[in-house]
Chain A
């Protein structure tokens, strides 16, 4: 059973420093992110109206968020009218309790799962395990993570940090029915997983899923996937429980048109994903339950700058272009949401009281690559900077920044500081002490010149 991220020790810089030293990890990440990055860029460039689509996606999401209460009630009504049951969960504990009770009511002790970020966010698998219920992940990458007793490290490709050889080891080690002569060919690995999972699909009476979108107008849930394993879970079991964040709404069917273009191209770099499943209430004869999850989202919605993070459609494009993510992988972020979106979403959902969460808004060089690729135009750098203003700052840093601010606020003070620096420049050591040693560990310092520009200008400008 894979562990949860709750209460992970350390802060981002420490986790990241460990990760950048892992050469296998660096190689795996670089290769994978650059491949998906290239594919995304190619299929996005094909569309002459990408910018309009992106603006439309942003507008639809903003409109939904502005009237979220109304659309949620509309959704509830539609789902109920179609024979489904709607449950409201304020936080992780409440959502886990609702799902566990629903599973127990069926008398089953096993559930199959469709890959879902929401259930990972609330630590559902662990909560179910505590109630004697085993949850089996059916997405190939999730399965690899689960078998390896590992953390997911990417939104879309949770096992991105693993290469084929490592996956083969995990299967041989942990998957009871792995064929003994298993090679590390992708097809062989996929086939082994397929056989392993098939038996499970046929046996399971309860499935748990998330959803990519919910349509308020019709009460329909939508899942996009690549492998088709989700579809097996969605259709075969007698009971289906979907746990979905309240922000995943779209007002109407027509709105889906925009997102079915934005999401696959941004996430897997495909024109269209192989499987799109939709279901409405209990129309398929299944007992259907929808758990609507808040877990901090209404607080995010209340924040004028930060609320744009709720537009996120979890495509992971921002992860694949992020130079920081590329070198650290997802684990350093200590959350199911890694990379740029994790750096803004996690501190908003969890607050910044832990050292880890307070360090996340700084896990970026503000290069802006994430904003550029985001299909719903979330200005991630803007939110990062806003969160930094709210994050707790150490006393030494605060004092330093205040002094710097005081000097820089006045030309005479700045000139005096420059003169002092010039006088003392011979005393600057090659290796700086304290936090500034971070600079001189790997970089030479520039020489302090013998005259500032303003003095030169004064003299002969």
Chain B
């Protein structure tokens, strides 16, 4: 299967390891992956901060870049939710952009969705002998309705001990520019999330969104807790030959 990767601007710039993990994981599962180089950003930050016109421009760019592919995979619940759930609301029904969006949007999948629903695999052959807890980020949970797909994948990882996270469904407080516009509330939410992570006794906090992990991980690191954060793709890409990313 020929798959286009949408790596997202944050991953591309700050977390290239996640993109490399997606490449190695999908190749291992027999996919022919392509990275359309013209891709940039889904426009989520602009739209959600109130800069709709810029957001619409980025959405148009996105639909042009990914127009020809059967499946687009993104290692980010919130960017996938942006394309699938928010794009159709950005443009007037019946307009030129609306048709392009209606064609591309349904073909965009978050990584765990793609694995479970499209490739129909739950055991991806990973090996990761650590105690892990999983935070279902808001846009994965309530935007995409990922449900237990990510944890089903994690449960099949050899050596991995999955421990439940108290208050898992509560927002971590990142919220894009919310973290900067309402820093006190964002930090308070982050601190509560960090405490819940600590309470699990896990070595690693996993999620399907690096931006949330950047916020929670940054909090855990400032508090010197020694807990590592990892993107779902990185754990699923790990094999007993080591993490190839």
A-B complex is real: yes
A435 to B39, CA, bound (A): 29
Distance from A283 Cβ to chain B, minimum over Cβ atoms (Å):
46
Report if A439-B138 is in contact (Cβ < 8 Å); known contacts: A327-B185, A418-B12.
no
Interface locus among A73-81, A146-154, A291-299, A401-409: A401-409
In the complex, what residues of A have CB within 8 A of residue B9's CB?
408, 414
Check A418–B13 contact: CB distance below 8 A: yes
Interface locus among A86-94, A99-107, A236-244, A384-392: A384-392
- Which residue of chain B lies nearest to A387 when distances are taken between CB atoms in the complex? B50
Check B12–A401 contact: CB distance below 8 A: no
Contact with A along B166-192 (1 / 0, CB 8 A): 000111011111111111111111110
Give the interface size bracket for B toward A.
Answer: 35 or more
- A-B CB contacts (within 8 Å), total count: 186
Q: Is A49 an interface residue (CB 8 A)?
A: no
Contact of B189 among A21, A327, A363 (CB under 8 A): A327
Check B187–A442 contact: CB distance below 8 A: yes
Distance from B137 Cβ to chain A, minimum over Cβ atoms (Å):
9
Contact with B along A172-199 (1 / 0, CB 8 A): 0000000000000000000000000000
Distance from A370 Cβ to chain B, minimum over Cβ atoms (Å):
10
Interface locus among B112-120, B152-160, B212-220: B212-220
Interface locus among B53-61, B97-105, B122-130, B195-203: B53-61
Q: Is B23 an interface residue (CB 8 A)?
A: yes
In the complex, what residues of B have CB within 8 A of residue A457's CB?
19, 23, 35, 37
Distance from A301 Cβ to chain B, minimum over Cβ atoms (Å):
20
**Chain B residues numbered 22-59 whose CB sits less than 8 Å from any CB in chain A:** 23, 35, 37-41, 43, 45-52, 54, 57-58
In the complex, what residues of A have CB within 8 A of residue B50's CB?
361, 385, 387-391, 393
Interface of A is mostly: helix
Q: Is A452 an interface residue (CB 8 A)?
A: yes
- Which residue of chain A lies nearest to B177 when distances are taken between CB atoms in the complex? A362
Contact of B174 among A365, A438, A446, A452 (CB under 8 A): A365
In the complex, what residues of A have CB within 8 A of residue B14's CB?
446, 448-449
Report if A456-B188 is in contact (Cβ < 8 Å); known contacts: A405-B57, A409-B61.
no
Contact of B46 among A324, A404, A418, A458 (CB under 8 A): A404
Distance from B221 Cβ to chain A, minimum over Cβ atoms (Å):
4
Q: Is B228 an interface residue (CB 8 A)?
A: no
Q: Is A429 an interface residue (CB 8 A)?
A: no
Report if A371-B182 is in contact (Cβ < 8 Å); known contacts: A443-B222, A453-B16, A461-B35.
no
A408 to B43, CA, bound (A): 8
Contact of B54 among A328, A364, A402, A439 (CB under 8 A): A402
Check B12–A453 contact: CB distance below 8 A: yes
Q: Is A382 an interface residue (CB 8 A)?
A: yes
In the complex, what residues of B have CB within 8 A of residue A414's CB?
9, 12, 40-41
Interface residues of A (CB under 8 A from B): 12-13, 16-17, 20-21, 26, 323-324, 327-328, 361-369, 371-372, 382, 385, 387-391, 393, 397, 401-402, 404-405, 408-411, 414, 418, 421, 435-436, 438-439, 441-446, 448-449, 451-454, 456-458, 461
A-B contacts besides A405-B51, A456-B16, 12 pairs, CB < 8 Å: A17-B185, A366-B138, A367-B171, A371-B142, A387-B50, A405-B58, A408-B41, A438-B180, A443-B222, A446-B14, A454-B12, A457-B35
Interface residues of B (CB under 8 A from A): 7, 9, 11-17, 19-20, 23, 35, 37-41, 43, 45-52, 54, 57-58, 61, 86, 89, 138-139, 141-143, 169-171, 173-191, 214-215, 217-219, 221-222
